[in-house]
Amino acid sequence: MKNAIHFEIVKTHRHSSARLGILTTPRGRIDTPCFMPVGTQATVKALTPEDLKSFGVQIILGNTYHLYLRPGHDLICSLGGLHKFMNWSRPILTDSGGYQVFSLKKFAKVTEEGVTFQSHIDGSSHFISPERSMEIQQALGADIIMAFDEPTPHPSDPRQTETSLRLTTLWARRCKEALRSDTQALFGIVQGGMHLDLRKKSAEQITGIDFPGYAIGGLSVGEEKSLMYDITGYTANILPTSKPRYLMGVGTPEDLLQCSAMGVDMFDCVMPTRNARNGTLFVKGGKINIKNSRYQSDPDPIAPDCSCYTCKNFSKAYLRHLIMADEILAMRLLTLHNSTFYQQWMVGIRKSIADDIPFNMD
Amino acid sequence: MKNAIHFEIVKTHRHSSARLGILTTPRGRIDTPCFMPVGTQATVKALTPEDLKSFGVQIILGNTYHLYLRPGHDLICSLGGLHKFMNWSRPILTDSGGYQVFSLKKFAKVTEEGVTFQSHIDGSSHFISPERSMEIQQALGADIIMAFDEPTPHPSDPRQTETSLRLTTLWARRCKEALRSDTQALFGIVQGGMHLDLRKKSAEQITGIDFPGYAIGGLSVGEEKSLMYDITGYTANILPTSKPRYLMGVGTPEDLLQCSAMGVDMFDCVMPTRNARNGTLFVKGGKINIKNSRYQSDPDPIAPDCSCYTCKNFSKAYLRHLIMADEILAMRLLTLHNSTFYQQWMVGIRKSIADDIPFNMD
């Protein structure tokens, strides 16, 4: 089977384990480390494809669980696949649906065969197995697809965690066997909870199956930040150097920087878009909440040196007015800012690696 | 006092009373007949200024009542006025606040001095008089401002209607006296309910005060369509030929065409934007509701010959998915379509006048 993607490490950072890479896919190039905006329901909330391109997004994430339930993968497939459906011509990564299925765990029943769960939309009953997840993700047609795993709940003791990672390994093998397309790259997912020995065991099993890329799953689930960093650093270090490493569902700008330094190449998180809709905006050195009354008559942009459309055109006073008045435009303008911030942040990380500048947290 | 605006009638239609005009304001030219998108809270809902310019909008409307309550006219004034606040450099017309105050009538108390009413936001008590409306509209800084009137409720008998129009005339005179700015054009408003003789009386009184433009108020309030057309046609016909005529709060595409034929030059209505948010989309020959299940797998755009961003890029199936999934992007894409449709509709009306083509309702 030919490789759907090609990953080249251009350079490693003199001051850390960070790598500057180029991930080449059938639909275009991705400079790594990269951040993938989350397009849960075939749209990055409040943004158009042109918006995403305008601030340099090279790949977005789609959620298999949501698209399977609504509008349905068969419908999307019959309309030419997810790219055409949402009019996004650049690469897409879809998750496996596992995370969402298990986050509704009280309504889910797990067997070795797969997971039976209830739709959050209408309560209807559904079944997803590794094979079914592959079938759905192939119908959606993303460039990178993820193995169907069981994210280990947190906290979990070693015994629970080991049971869970064994299922993840079993399912990963079945996903690879079920893969029919040679234009989609299937990534394996390493679990193992908060136990280094079990992370090692999972990494050995998953890399033993051999995938073109590996994800670190089951983190950012309520654990201490330092523990998340420990597990990430440890796991990234035992994954193959030559394959892209994707840390799922992480995180803050600081997380992206710290974990890039540990050798992670890919990130995704709802934080920039969800925070924007709540009025929380990222700026250098931290974040602000635009709803705060201190911005009521502030004539300045969110960040004077930001190149985003919002900062070029609108004052904090206006943005605060829009969100206080529940105006839809607020959602777009604030999402544009945060999303631009995240892409620019990754540009900065990549530049630091290229120029061998130590990562600066200020 | 110098004229803030200049109105030139380029041509009258051979087949109707329609006029092709150019309304010149300090902030730019407006081709008439024109349709003004409604920007109630310092934003045309879901659209940016760039969106509006992209489909040719030359003037928008702002709502004095809403902006007075939130964020406040003083705040907007201190930030450089409404244009700068919302980053819209082209002309703006503000209404007087009267319509909104009276549509909350059960909470409003009217005297000859003015109206005491309660805020719909927090129930606080406020007072607006003709002088206060002028003060607020001058602080907002729109290019065209409206006299503070009492929109006659419907139905109203001749006696109630006459009492109401007398107050409107009294207030119109006080508005003109209170006007301090010579860069804002103040339009008078003709009331008179559904009674032709009282429309005549109101028109005589209001034009007697002498304004640079006249509005026809108090229509599209639940009356029969044929009655609305009768009153509009009659009233437009007795207004000065050389001044712009603005039919407030109207209406459907057919209304714009019929009333342009009667010699109306300016329109505003929330219909294109509000309908879009409910999924009702204007197409040639009528409208469709994109939520209808018949569009579930429809690969075609809303209208194949429409030049809007939405029709150029997305299928009805995708748009239906977005609105069914409560996605914010649906609001923008559907509003873009309807707003483009309305501007293109006016282009068509103006072309028919220019070329002396009979208005075609199909």
Q: Which of A41, A79, A320 sits opposite B297 (nearest CB)?
A: A79
User: Is A245 within the bounds of a domain?
Assistant: yes
User: Is A341 within the bounds of a domain?
Assistant: no
One domain, residues A307 and A326: yes
pLDDT tens per residue across span B269-287: 999 999 999 999 999 999 9
One domain, residues A227 and A303: no
Q: What is the pTM of this model?
A: 0.97
Q: Which of A70, A80, A332 sits opposite B324 (nearest CB)?
A: A70
One domain, residues A121 and A230: yes
Q: Helix (H, G, I), strand (E, B), or coil: what is residue B100?
A: helix
Phi/psi class of residue B218: alpha, beta or left (left: φ > 0; alpha: ψ in -120 to 50)?
A: left
Which residues of A are marked as active site?
A: 95, 268
**Contact: B329, A45; criterion CB under 8 Å:** yes
- Distance (Å, rounded) from C-alpha A323 to C-alpha A19? 39
In this complex, how many residue pairs, one in chain A and one in chain B, have their CB atoms less than 8 Å apart?
108
The mean pLDDT value for B278-297 works out to: 97
For B351, other C-beta atoms within 10 Å of its C-beta total 11
One domain, residues A257 and A126: yes
Interface residue B119 vs chain A (CB under 8 A): no
One domain, residues A245 and A281: no
User: Is B292 within the bounds of a domain?
Assistant: no
Cα angle vertex A110, ends A108, A112, to 5°? Answer: 160
One domain, residues A311 and A254: no
Chain A residue numbers touching B321 (CB-CB < 8 A): 41-42, 70-71, 85
Based on the residue annotation, tell me whether B95 is a catalytic residue of this protein: yes
**Neighbour-count burial of B294, counting CB atoms closer than 10 A to its CB (0-12 exposed, 13-18 middle, 19+ buried):** exposed
pLDDT tens per residue across span B15-71: 999 999 999 999 999 999 999 999 999 999 999 999 999 999 999 999 999 999 999
Q: Which of A236, A254, A269 is the last residue of a domain?
A: A269
User: Is B305 within the bounds of a domain?
Assistant: no
pLDDT tens per residue across span B332-351: 999 999 999 999 999 999 99
- Distance (Å, rounded) from C-alpha A140 to C-alpha A68? 9
One domain, residues A171 and A25: yes
Q: Which of A49, A70, A322 sits opposite B43 (nearest CB)?
A: A322
The mean pLDDT value for A337-350 works out to: 98
**Contact: B42, A79; criterion CB under 8 Å:** no
Mutate to test the interface with B, among A40, A65, A278, A318 (most CBs of B within 10 A): A318
**Contact: B321, A41; criterion CB under 8 Å:** yes
**Contact: A324, B70; criterion CB under 8 Å:** yes
Chain A residue numbers touching B317 (CB-CB < 8 A): 71, 75, 79, 85
Domain coverage including residue B77: 6-32+63-269
User: Is B125 within the bounds of a domain?
Assistant: yes
**Does residue B361 carry a pLDDT above 90?**
no
Q: How confident is the model at residue B103, as a pLDDT?
A: 81
User: What percent of chain B is modeled with pLDDT above 90?
Assistant: 92
Q: How many domains does chain A have?
A: 2
Q: How confident is the model at residue A103, as a pLDDT?
A: 81
B51: nearest CA partner in chain A: A329
Q: How confident is the model at residue A211, as a pLDDT?
A: 98
| Complete DSSP assignment for B124-144 | -EEEE-HHHHHHHHHHHT-SE
One domain, residues A308 and A244: no
Q: How confident is the model at residue B106, as a pLDDT?
A: 64
Chain A residues 25-84 with CB within 8 Å of chain B: 41-43, 45-50, 70-71, 75, 78-80
User: Is A10 within the bounds of a domain?
Assistant: yes
Mutate to test the interface with A, among B40, B43, B51, B140 (most CBs of A within 10 A): B43
One domain, residues A25 and A164: yes
Q: Provide CB contacts within 8 A for A118, sequence distance 6+.
A: A104, A107, A108, A124, A125, A126
Rounded to the nearest integer, the mean pLDDT of chain B is: 96
Based on the residue annotation, tell me whether B268 is a catalytic residue of this protein: yes
Q: Of B122, B210, B268, B356, which residue is the catalytic one?
A: B268
One domain, residues A207 and A224: yes
Q: State both tokens at A193.
A: 């909870």
pLDDT tens per residue across span A258-305: 999 999 999 999 999 999 999 999 999 999 999 999 999 999 999 999
How far away is chain A from the Cα of B121, in angstroms, using its nearest Cα?
Answer: 10
CATH of the domain at A21: 3.20.20.105
Q: How confident is the model at residue B362, as a pLDDT?
A: 47
CA distances from A13 to A24, A234, B55 (A): 21, 18, 48
One domain, residues A322 and A223: no
User: Is A68 within the bounds of a domain?
Assistant: yes
Least confident of A36-40, B149-153, B332-336: B149-153
User: Is B242 within the bounds of a domain?
Assistant: yes
**Neighbour-count burial of B270, counting CB atoms closer than 10 A to its CB (0-12 exposed, 13-18 middle, 19+ buried):** middle
Crossing angle, helix B225-238 and helix B196-209, to 10 degrees? 40
The mean pLDDT value for A322-349 works out to: 98
Q: Which of B86, B321, B331 sits opposite A328 (nearest CB)?
A: B331
One domain, residues A77 and A201: yes
Interface residue B290 vs chain A (CB under 8 A): no
The mean pLDDT value for A159-175 works out to: 97
